[in-house]
Structure 1
Amino acid sequence: MTKRKYRAAIVGTGAIAHAHAQAVRGSGRAELVAVADVDAERVTAFAEKYDVTSTHASLDDLLGEEEVDLVHLCTPPQLHTPLAIACLEAGVTALVEKPPTLSLAEFDALIEAERHTTAHVATVLQHRFGAGALRLRRLQEAGELGRPLLATCDTQWYRDDAYYAVPWRGTWESEGGGPTMGHGIHQFDLLFSILGPWREVTAVAARQSRPVDTEDVSMALVTFENGAVATVVNSVVSPRQTSRLRFDYERATVEVEHLYGYTDDDWTVTPAPGQDTVSDLWAQGHSTVPSGHDGWLAAVYDALDRGEAPPVTTEDARRTMEFIAALYTSAFTGERVRAGQITADSPFALRMDGTGAPWGK
C-alpha cells in the first residue's frame, strides 16, 4: 500500500485544535499547511506555535487560497454542519470533532452532501482506536470471549458553573445537548463499536444542578441486536470523575476505567471459572500507547491510502447520533424508542430536545 503525504488544515484554534495539530505533526504522514480562526490574535499564536505559514479568517478564505486534502474542524458544534458541507463541495475531506452535528436531520444533510462528492466526512471518536479496544474487538470477533451478555458504560465527569460561562455551552441551539452530546459520546460510541447495532432505548434525563438549558445528567437502558443489554450514564455533576466501561461475556469480564484516554494498563480481565486462557490471550501484544488522536488519525490515513472512507464513517457515526436522539426522545416522552423509529419529520430529528425539555416548559 502506497503511503501518501497529505496536506492538512485546521479550522478553529481552541483547546482541542492542539491535539489535532500535535497528531498531524507527529504522524509523519501529513503537513499542516494552513489554519483559520475568526480570532486573529489566537490564530496567529497557534500558527507560530506549530510553524504554520498560512493563516486565514475563515474556511472560505482557506479553501479559496490553499490546496488541501483534509480539513480538521475544531470549531464550536453549531458550525460543524455548514463548514463540513463547504469542505465537501470543495472536494476536501472534513474531519469533524464531536458532536458532528446538532441534530439527526443535520447529520443526514451531511450524508446527502457526501453522496455528491468524492470527499468524505469522518467524526473524531478516537477511543475506538486505542490498543485495548482493538484487542477486545479482535477477541470478540474470534469467539474467544463467548457471547456478550451485559455492559455498563459510565461517563461521570464534573463541569462547574464557570465552564458554562462560555456562551455556546449548555444550550440546545449551539451545543445540541448536554453531557449526552458533548461528553458521554466518546464512551457509548466505543460501546457501540464493540457490541454493534443497538435495538431499543429507555431513558431519563434531568437538569440537576448546572445553570444550563440542556440536561446535566442522563441515563439509558439499551438492548442490542445481538441480545446484549447495557446501561449508559452521562453526567457533568460527579465530583469523582471517571470514564468506565464493563463488558460481561460468557467467558470473562473485560473492564476499562480512565478519564480522557486509556492505555492497556487501564484495562482488566477477569476470566470466568475454568477460562484462564482468556487472560493469556489478553496479555498478548501489551501496549503502553495511550488512546487518542494519534491512533485515530493513523487509521484515517490508512483508509485514505486504500481509497476508502476514513473512520469514523457517516454510517458508523449516524448510529451513535441516532442513539442520542432516541435517548432524548425516550427521556422527554416517557416512551421506549426503537432504532429507526425517529423519522425525518419527527421533532426529535430536527432538534435533540424535540418538543422541548420538561424543565423548559
Structure 2
Amino acid sequence: MKHEPVAVAVVGCGRVAYKHFDAIAEMSEARLVAVCDSDPAKAASTATAHGVPGYADYHAMLAAHPEIELIHVLVPTGYHARVVVDLSQYGRAIVVEKPMALTVADCDAMISACAAHHAPLYVVYQNRFNTPVQAARRALEAERFGTPVLGTVRVRWCRHQDYYEQDDWHGTWALDGGVMSQQASHHLDLLQWFMGPVESVQCQIATRLLDIEVEDTAAALLRFRSGALGVYEATVAARPDNLEGSLSVLGEHGSVVIAGIAVNQLAQWRFAGDGDDPQQVMQAASEAVKNEYGNGHARYLKAVIDTLRGAPPHPWLVDGAEGRRNIALLTALYEAGVGGGTVVPGSPPQHSPLGRVPLTAKKRPPRAIA
C-alpha cells in the first residue's frame, strides 16, 4: 500500500538542523511542512531557505498545520525535556536529538508525557545505521563474537573556541555538558549497544584547551555485567583537526574494528573459521562521509517513518527507554569524573553537575528560551 509522505516539522534551527533538513529532502517518504525557532529571525531565514512557513512559537505552528505527523526537536539539550513534554500533548511522533536530556529525571518526564498522550518518542543515534556498524551488529546478533572480552571507543575530534562562542548555551553544565554528553554521546550509545548493560564505571575528566565550564577531554573504564571491560576515550581538543571516531569489539571468536572520522570505515573483520573474505567484507561495508555527522540520518528517519506507517518497530531505533539508559550511564560517568571512585549507573548522583547551574562559571549565563 502506497502512503503519502509523512508531514514533518522541525523545532530548533541551529547547527545540527541542516542534517535533518538534508535527510528529509532526500526521502520520498517525508516532506517538510514547517519550521520553528524561538529566534524569529532564524525561523524566518530558515523558512525562506526551505520554502516553508516559519514560526517562533510551536503552538502556533501546530495550530496552523494539523497535518504534521512527526516533529524533530533540535533545541539546546537542556531544553529537550521542556519542549518534548509540551509538544507531547499533540499526540504526534517526536524525534529528539541526542542526548535525550541531561538528567534521568528529565528523561522520565519525557517518557511519561509521551506515553500519556500516545506520542511515539525516538532519540537520534544515527550511527547505528552506518553500514560498518550494521555489519558488526548483524555479526553480534548471529553470536559470532562469542563471549565478550573488550569494547572500546575513541572520539578524537576538534572544536575550537569559536564553536562554543556561537551560542550562549554551548559548553555550559546547565544546557549542554561536555564532550561526553555531546560529541561522544553517539559512541557511548554504540559501546553499550554492543557490549550490554554496564555494572560500574570509573572516569577522569579535564578541560585542557578550551575556555568552557565543562570537560573537553575524558577517559573512562567500564565493567559490563557480562564481565567484559570497556574503554571510553573522548576529546574535542585534538589539533589541528578531527582525527577519528572509532569502535572496537573483541570477543572469544572474533574481533571487529570500525574506524574513520565517523565510525564509517570497517578496518578489521576477523572471525575464527570465517568463510567470509575479510577484505571483501571490509570494502563492501565501509562508506565515505563528508564530516563527522556521517550518513545515517536519512536511514534512521526512514526506520522511524516505516514504523509510523505500520511496519514492525525497527529493533535498532532508540526509543525513550533506550535513550534513558544512555543518560543513566552518562550521569554515572560524570559522577565518577567529578566525585571520583567507582560508580554504579542508576545511583542517585551526588557530585555530577550535568543539568545543573554551577556556582561559578567561565561563560556568561545562558539566555532563557521562549
TM-score, normalised relative to structure 1: 0.88
Aligned: 1:306 with 2:307: no
Q: Displacement, 1:44?
A: 2.7
Amino acid at match of 1:219: A
Distance 1:280 1:216, change over 3 A: closer
In the other structure, the counterpart of 1:171 is: 172
Q: Residue 110 of structure 1 aligns to a residue in which SS?
A: helix
Residue matched to 1:60:
59
The SS at the match of 2:208 is coil
% identity of equivalent residues: 27
Tell me which residue corresponds to 1:213: 213
Q: Does 1:193 align with 2:193?
A: yes
With over 3 angstroms needed to count, the CA separation of the structure-2 counterparts of 1:42 and 1:279, relative to structure 1, is same
Deviation at 1:148, TM superposition (A): 2.1
Tell me the secondary structure at the aligned position of residue 246 of structure 1. Answer: strand
Q: Deviation of residue 357 (structure 1)? A: 9.7
2:273 is matched with which residue? Answer: 275
- Map of 2:323 onto structure 1: 317
Over 3 Å counting, the alpha-carbon distance change for 1:259 and 1:145 in structure 2 is same
CA distance in 1, matches of 2:262, 2:282: 24
Residues 64-83 of structure 1 mapped to structure 2, 5 A cutoff: 64-67=63-66, 68-83=68-83
How far, CA to CA, are the matches of 2:112 and 2:27 in structure 1?
Answer: 31
TM-superposed deviation, 1:306: 2.6
SS in 2 for 1:108: helix
1:327 — aligned with what?
Answer: 333
Offset from partner CA, 1:202-241 (integer Å, 9 cap, x none): 1111222211111111111111122221100121111152
**Cα separation, 1, equivalents of 2:244 and 2:343:** 28
Q: Give 2:115's aligned residue.
A: 115
In 1, Cα distance between the equivalents of 2:62 and 2:175?
A: 24
Residue 292 of structure 1 corresponds to which residue in structure 2?
A: 296
Report the Cα distance in structure 2 between the residues aligned to 1:64 and 1:206, rounded to whole angstroms: 46
Alignment-derived partner of residue 367 in structure 2 = none
Structure 1 equivalent of residue 261 of structure 2: 259
Q: Is the 8 Å Cα contact of residues 4 and 29 (structure 1) preserved in structure 2?
A: yes
Query: Secondary structure of the residue that 1:253 maps to in structure 2?
Result: strand
User: Which structure's residues are more often helix, by fraction?
Assistant: 1
Task: Pick closer, same or farther for the CA change 1:160–1:281 going to 2, 3 Å.
Answer: closer
Give the whole-Å Cα distance in 2 for the aligned partners of 1:28 and 1:289. 23
Find the residue that maps to 1:269 and give its secondary structure: strand
Matches for 1:87-236 after TM superposition, within 5 Å: 87-165=87-165, 166-175=167-176, 177-236=177-236
Q: Residue 246 of structure 1: which of 245, 248, 265 is its match?
A: 248
What is the alpha-carbon root mean square deviation over aligned residues? 2.7
Task: Please report how far the alpha carbon of residue 308 of structure 1 lies from its aligned counterpart in structure 2 after TM superposition.
Answer: 6.2
Secondary structure of the structure 1 residue equivalent to 2:232: strand
CA contact (8 A) 1:252 1:275 kept: no
Aligned residues of 1:135 and 1:282 also touching (Cα < 8 A): no
Q: Answer yes or no: is the 8 Å Cα contact 1:98–1:125 preserved in 2.
A: yes
- Unaligned runs of at least 5 residues, structure 2: 290-294, 363-370
Residue 147 of structure 1 and its aligned partner are, at CA, apart by 2.3
For residue 90 of structure 1, what is the amino acid of its counterpart?
Answer: Y
Q: What is the aligned length?
A: 350
Partner of 2:366: none
* Distance change (3 Å), C-alpha of 1:261 and 1:285: closer
* Partner secondary structure for residue 122 of structure 2: strand
Deviation for aligned residue 1:31: 1.4
